[in-house]
Amino acid sequence: MRTERPEGNTTSSKYDETRMAEEIVNILPSGVAREFSAERDAIRYAVRADGMRLRTIVLSRSSLRRLIDDPARAVKVEYLQRDLLDAAAHRSEFRYPRPLLHMVRKAFVMPQKLACV
């Protein structure tokens, strides 16, 4: 008997999301990153290593699900791995997807007075 899948439902499961997260994080040296928290909407890793500024990795589950079904997944995972390696030396937290910094900055910009001519 064949059952129909409801529209919008993906074939990915929690295991697939975790496996995708592991594939991204495995670029770091072994034993450096370990799963810290598996929340409903994110997977968090704690990073502990000398010489590495990076302390946490936060991966959105919904973004990982979209990445699993993406035809260009291999290229995007490679990009994320390179970005993670760069972040390890420069940032304390790595997030996927990356927050839109220009949107955050605009929210905190003080209004400026315009000169009337």
- Segment 65-99, tens digit of pLDDT: 999 999 999 999 999 999 999 999 899 999 999 88
Domain-wise residue ranges, the chain: 14-98
Please name the residues in contact with 64: beta carbons below 8 A apart, sequence gap of 6 or more.
17, 20, 21, 43, 96
Q: Which of 10, 19, 23 is nearest to 77 (CA)?
A: 23
Q: pLDDT band for position 8 (50/70/90)?
A: very low
Would you say 65 and 28 are in contact if contact means Cβ atoms under 8 Å apart? no
| Residue ranges with strand state E in 48-115 | 56-60, 93-96
